[in-house]
């Protein structure tokens, strides 16, 4: 049959258009001139329809990473660092979210025309200078100690408030009890006053009391009754108790 000869000078270039992930690590300076090591992963894939353009303008798949993705990513990271005042601010969740968003948008704007589709940019790790880490740990320890002292002060304050409330309740109870005793004393004084008035103005009251006393004494067989003056119109009984012959 007919055989078409293969051009021995013809080259084949293979491009894997499946999604790839590249991990990049860079030292990023902040406004305080400190270097923070940041590890970032970029998820991307090559657009198959633009493979000829990639080959013509850039080269093979490995060249895309070396020529476009890595340099642009490092450049964007340095630009992001210029907006960070202090190195420790890289640990803030808001800072990391803003960085990821800015890096993703920056890479997409740049790489779309290069035949690269960027799916995501994720910050994997952040490593501050050792002395900054130590300073942060010391700061956290101080904050924890302050919180501990604050909690102890609040507990002491609560206990004191409870003691004051208890003392107030006891004082109010004592005042109420004293008021009751005062009312009772006033009632007893009033009763004594009335009795004295009755005795002074009515001799019959004395006789009545004498009869009541005699009635009570008569119930005790050991009691002996004497009269101070039998001729007295109001003889008062005297009781001699406990004399055994």
Tell the burial category of 223 from Cβ atoms under 10 Å away from its Cβ (0-12, 13-18, 19+): middle
Of how many residues is the chain composed?
245
Cβ pair 36, 81 in contact under 8 A: yes
State how far the alpha carbon of 105 is from the alpha carbons of 18, 36, 78, 233, in Å: 21, 22, 15, 126
Q: Quick one: pLDDT at residue 181?
A: 87
Given the candidates 3.80.10.10, 3.30.479.30, 1.10.10.920, 3.40.50.300, the CATH classification of the domain at 20-134 is: 3.30.479.30
Sequence-ordered list of residues with C-beta below 8 angstroms from that of 80, at least 6 positions apart, any chain: 28, 99, 102, 103
Q: Quick one: pLDDT at residue 69?
A: 93
Most confident of 65-79, 173-187, 220-234: 65-79
β-partners of residue 28 are 36
Q: Quick one: pLDDT at residue 94?
A: 92
* pTM for this prediction: 0.53
116 CB-side CA count, 13 A:
32
Q: Is the pLDDT of residue 104 over 70?
A: yes
Q: Is the pLDDT of residue 158 over 70?
A: yes
Residue with tokens 């030292």: 27
Q: Quick one: pLDDT at residue 76?
A: 95
Other Cβ atoms closer than 10 A to 189: 10
Structure confidence at residue 26 as a pLDDT band (50, 70, 90):
very high
Q: Quick one: pLDDT at residue 128?
A: 84
């Amino acid at each position: 049959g007919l055989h078409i000869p293969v051009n021995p000078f013809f080259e084949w270039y293979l491009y894997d258009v499946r999604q790839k992930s590249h991990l990049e690590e860079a030292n990023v300076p902040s406004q305080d001139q400190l270097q923070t090591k940041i590890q970032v992963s970029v998820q991307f894939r090559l657009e198959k329809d633009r493979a000829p353009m990639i080959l013509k303008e850039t080269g093979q798949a490995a060249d895309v990473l070396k020529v476009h993705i890595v340099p642009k990513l490092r450049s964007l990271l340095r630009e992001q660092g210029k907006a960070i005042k202090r190195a420790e601010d890289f640990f803030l969740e808001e800072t990391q979210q803003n960085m990821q968003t800015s890096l993703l948008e920056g890479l997409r704007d740049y790489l779309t025309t290069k035949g690269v589709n960027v799916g995501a940019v994720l910050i994997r790790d952040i490593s501050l200078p050792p002395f900054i880490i130590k300073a942060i740990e010391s700061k956290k320890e101080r904050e924890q100690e302050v919180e501990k002292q604050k909690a102890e002060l609040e507990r002491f304050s609560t206990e004191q408030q409870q003691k004051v409330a208890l003392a107030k309740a006891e004082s109010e109870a004592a005042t109420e009890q004293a008021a009751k005793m005062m009312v009772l004393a006033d009632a007893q004084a009033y009763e004594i006053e009335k009795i004295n008035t009755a005795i002074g103005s009515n001799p019959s009251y004395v006789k009545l009391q004498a009869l009541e006393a005699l009635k009570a004494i008569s119930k005790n067989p050991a009691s002996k009754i004497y009269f101070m003056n039998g001729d007295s119109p109001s003889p008062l009984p005297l009781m001699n108790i406990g004399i055994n012959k």
